Amino acid sequence: MLAKSVHDAGWAAFFFKLSYKAESAGRQFLVVVAHGTSQRCPCGAPNPKRLNDREHVCVECGLVTTRDHASALEILRLGLSLLALTQPEVRVIVA
Ligand SMILES: [Zn+2]
């Protein structure tokens, strides 16, 4: 129980520092819920995988890459979508 509190406080402090550094660099810091990002393709198609499946192959858009790279692209897409919601003048294009 205490370990979880320490863990949560550690993430909160880390996010605070990231937010501060982003703002001081003229950037924005957004938190994206990364849960399930390895189970979707950045094109939006579901792409279920088991934990030991390390390759991402999408039959919808043809994207072939590593599981981690596909997850990173999905996290980027989610973050840019969130940014577009908060700032409608921002255009979101993920290729
Ligand atoms: Zn796809």
pLDDT in tens, the chain (95 residues): 678 787 778 888 998 999 999 999 998 888 888 899 999 999 999 999 999 999 999 999 999 999 999 999 999 999 988 888 887 776 656 55
Same domain, 19 and 61: no
Residue 9: give the domain boundaries: 1-26
The pLDDT score that the predictor gives to residue 95 is 56
Distance 57 CA to ligand 1 centre (A): 8
Q: What is the pLDDT of residue 64?
A: 98
How far apart are the CA of 2 and the centre of ligand 1, in A?
41
pLDDT at 91: 63
On the 0-12 / 13-18 / 19+ scale of CB atoms within 10 A, 29 is middle
Same domain, 79 and 45: yes
Do residue 38 and residue 11 come from a single domain? no
Note whether 41 and 77 are same-domain residues.
yes
Q: Which two tokens stand for residue 88?
A: 């409608």
Structure confidence at residue 3 (pLDDT): 80
What one-letter code names the amino acid at 3? A
Both 22 and 48 in one domain: the answer is: no
Same domain, 61 and 77: yes
Ligand 1 centre from 89 Cα, in Å?
Answer: 26
Q: Are residues 10 and 51 in the same domain?
A: no
In angstroms, what is the span from residue 47 Cα to ligand 1's centroid? Answer: 8
Are 39 and 3 members of one domain? no
Residue 94 Cα to ligand 1 middle (Å): 12
What's the structural domain count of the chain? 2
β-partners of residue 55 are 66
